[in-house]
Amino acid sequence: MKENLKLKRADNLYLLLGALFIAALIVCNLIANKFISVDLGFKVFIISAGVLPYPITFLITDILSEIYGRKKTNKVVYSGFAASFFVLGILWLGNQFNAIPDSPVDDYTYSAVFKNSWRVITASMIAYLSAQLVDVRLYHFWKNLTKGKHLWLRNNGSTILSQLLDTTLVVGVLFFGVKPTNELLDLIIDGWLFKALCALLDTPIFYGLVTLLKRYFNLKPNQELTH
């Protein structure tokens, strides 16, 4: 009875993490058109607002990889891919109808905010799918190589490398031929460094959550939930 309860809670946690992952991913795309400066004292980062919630997606996939394994993690990654294109379709549909005179959001505002959504989401999804699958693969490569030890290595190593791929692809698809090369490089460097910093800062959170979950589900260092 107690074991069945734990299995049910494991399923509920998987669904919750998957939902949070997809929510963070979609929000990234919706606010990606706004560029901001983030002053951390030692450096001012010029980034898309969509970068702010994006590190959460990599934290979640690393937790999923550690607890549920590669196959179930990839299911969440593909679900996020499908959900993003569903949102793109809804945004397109909303633009096919004219706003009424008393609408709080008129046609011009709607178009100004979402007119580049197809390009943003397409760029983001090409980068996202490539980077997330690389992240999951690298995570399990280092996990198997170290026999479940050195949690910090697979958490940070897989995320930092895959974030470089993600940032390069999304900036390249969005701005190649639009902005000069030096601006492209600045955007890539700022975006990647900010994401890498977030990955380093969330390491204690990752350690804490994984330790609690492994203890609760009685998992050994290199063991995953297989039900």
Q: C-alpha dihedral over 131, 132, 134, 135, to 10 degrees? A: 110
Please say if the pLDDT value at position 111 is more than 90.
Answer: no
Among residues 161, 158, 182, which one has the least CA distance to residue 171? 182
Please say if the pLDDT value at position 13 is more than 90.
Answer: yes
- Of the ranges 18-22, 118-122, 185-189, 205-209, the best mean pLDDT one: 18-22
Q: Which two tokens stand for residue 123?
A: 């760029």
Write down the H helix ranges in the chain. Answer: 2-30, 54-68, 70-94, 107-114, 117-145, 151-175, 181-201, 203-216
Q: How many residues does the chain have?
A: 227
More confident residue, 3 or 32: 32
Q: Which two tokens stand for residue 220?
A: 């050994």
Tell the CATH topology of 2-216. Arp2/3 complex 21 kDa subunit ARPC3 (1.10.1760)
Q: Is 38 helix (H, G, I), strand (E, B) or coil?
A: strand
The reply to whether the predicted model has a pTM over 0.75 is yes
Among residues 168, 167, 194, which one has the least CA distance to residue 46? 194
Give residue 45's pLDDT band: very low, low, confident or very high (50, 70, 90): confident
The pLDDT > 70 percentage for the chain reads 92
pLDDT tens figures, 67-105: 998 889 889 988 988 888 888 888 888 888 899 999 998
CB atoms inside a 10 Å sphere around CB 161: 15
Are 165 and 127 in contact, with CB atoms under 8 Å apart? yes
> Token pair 């929510």 is at which residue?
23
pLDDT at 115: 66
pLDDT tens figures, 48-71: 888 888 888 888 988 998 899 888
Q: Which two tokens stand for residue 207?
A: 């350690």
pLDDT at 118: 66
Please say if the pLDDT value at position 165 is more than 90.
Answer: no
Pairing of strands 44-48, 35-39: antiparallel
pLDDT at 117: 60
pLDDT at 116: 62
